[in-house]
Amino acid sequence: PPVRKSQKLGDKVNALQQLVSPFGK
């Protein structure tokens, strides 16, 4: 289902945000 795909995408975005978090601050 598309929901699973969205979850995977969210996971990727989450990891990216965690990586960019220190730079954003």
Give the residue, 5 or 24, on which the prediction is more confident: 5
Q: Is the dihedral of CA 8, 14, 15, 16 positive or negative?
A: positive
Q: What is the mean pLDDT of residues 1-25?
A: 85
Residue 6 has pLDDT above 80, yes or no: yes
pLDDT for 15 equals 92
**CA geometry: angle at 15 spanning 11 and 18, to 5°?**
140
Q: What is the pTM of this model?
A: 0.48
CB count within 10 Å of CB 16 equals 10
Residue 23 has pLDDT above 80, yes or no: no
Residue count (the chain): 25
Q: What is the mean pLDDT of residues 2-23?
A: 87
